[in-house]
Structure 1
């Protein structure tokens, strides 16, 4: 009951985000042939940029004249950021809004436990994230058809998809935990989006100067950096472990807090 109701309530935003993200991916990949033809001009342009900016966006490690390098810098970077924002927005409201909208009394009057409420709402978050990533994957595959027979390594592309999903789940889990702890949806949303944007800029800043390079260890975006995935065809096992731990701990905390929480009805 809860899953169906919650999924219907969020289907409109899922469709909008899917259309926007899918369209941006198709548009970005559609201009790759022209971009590749002008590679010499683009190389000169990149050489004119400050070295710190080149390092910040990984342009020193990826060749954007190559399809996968272009995909990593342009498409993948967009997918990870927008997907993380969507995941944070979705998960940050899904538990707390019942109290804000005064519908929690109706739910608690039904023969369901608090753990059941958390489980079904969590399942909605997971399904929505996987659907969004499924749309971005399909859009990418369609977009690859515009790239004039450029080779797409299936294993590398798969790793990029897995990395993006792990990142989105990490931010969703953190926002979901906050949704169980805090009561006001505006505050939860602000904190959740703040975490996403701050860690994103921490990742960029860590590449600008060696003095603040340590910031990368506090940013999940660095854990799924496209350069090592594309160049080494692997995701660092330690980073996978850290993200998995954050996801698991956040979800367990959400269950523990929500089961004992003094809910205002």
Structure 2
């Protein structure tokens, strides 16, 4: 019952985000042939950029002339950032809104435990994120059709997809925990989006100066960095472990906190 209600509540937003993200992916990939044809002139133009800026955007390790290089610089950066914002928005409201909208009394009057409430709402978050990422994958596969004469390294593409999903789940789990702890949805939403933006800012700043390199270790965006995955052909096991640990710990904390929370009805 709760899962179905959450599905209906969030369906419109999911459709809007999926259409926008999918359209942007196809649109960007449709421009790849033009970038590939002008690779030499683009390389010269990129040399004019400061080294720190090239590093911040991954242009020092990836190039616009290869399909995966273009995908990493343009598409992957967009899907990770926009998808993370969507994940934070979705998960930050899903528990707290029952108290905020005064509907928690209705839920608690039903023969259902708090753990079941949390589990079904968590399932709704997971399904919505998987669908969004599924749409992004389909849009990418459609966009790859514009790259005639360029082989698609599907193994590398799969690794980028896995890293993106883990990243989205990481921010969703953090926001989900905040939603179990706080009552005001507006405050939770602001904090959740701030966490995403600050993490992205840390990752960008780490590339601008060697003195700021340490900031990247505090940003999940670094763990899903396209340049590392494409060049190494793998996601670092340590990064996977860190994201998995954050997801498990914050979700576990959400269950514990919500079960013990003093909920006024």
TM interval, short-chain normalised: over 0.9
TM-aligned CA deviation for residue 85 of structure 1 = 0.2
* Residue aligning to 2:255: 255
* Residue aligning to 2:228: 228
- The 5-angstrom pairing of residues 84-103 of structure 1 reads 84-103=84-103
* Residue aligning to 1:21: 21
Structure 1 gaps of 5+ residues are: none
* Residue aligning to 1:207: 207
Provide Cα deviations, 1:104-153, integer angstroms capped at 9, x if missing partner: 00000000000000000000000000000000000000000011131111
* Residue aligning to 1:7: 7
TM-score by length of 1: 0.99
Give the aligned length: 265
Distance in 2, matches of 1:112 and 1:134, equals 31
More off after superposition, 110-119 vs 55-64? 55-64
Structure 2 gaps of 5+ residues are: none
TM-score by length of 2: 0.99
Distance in 1, matches of 2:212 and 2:138, equals 37
Distance in 2, matches of 1:87 and 1:216, equals 21
Distance in 2, matches of 1:28 and 1:153, equals 18
- Which segments of structure 1 move beyond 4 Å, counting only runs of 4 or more? none
TM-aligned CA deviation for residue 23 of structure 1 = 0.1
Provide Cα deviations, 1:180-234, integer angstroms capped at 9, x if missing partner: 0011001100000000000001000001100010000000000010011101110
* Residue aligning to 1:160: 160
* Residue aligning to 1:121: 121
* Residue aligning to 2:35: 35
TM-aligned CA deviation for residue 264 of structure 1 = 2.2
Distance in 1, matches of 2:162 and 2:66, equals 21
Match of 1:179, SS? helix
TM-aligned CA deviation for residue 156 of structure 1 = 0.5
* Residue aligning to 1:57: 57
Match of 1:235, SS? coil
Distance in 1, matches of 2:96 and 2:226, equals 34
Confirm or deny that 1:147 pairs with 2:147.
yes
Distance in 1, matches of 2:91 and 2:236, equals 26
Match of 1:155, SS? helix
Provide Cα deviations, 1:59-101, integer angstroms capped at 9, x if missing partner: 1111221100000000011000000000000000000000011
* Residue aligning to 1:104: 104
Distance in 2, matches of 1:33 and 1:8, equals 40
Match of 1:78, SS? helix
Distance in 2, matches of 1:154 and 1:35, equals 21
* Residue aligning to 2:174: 174
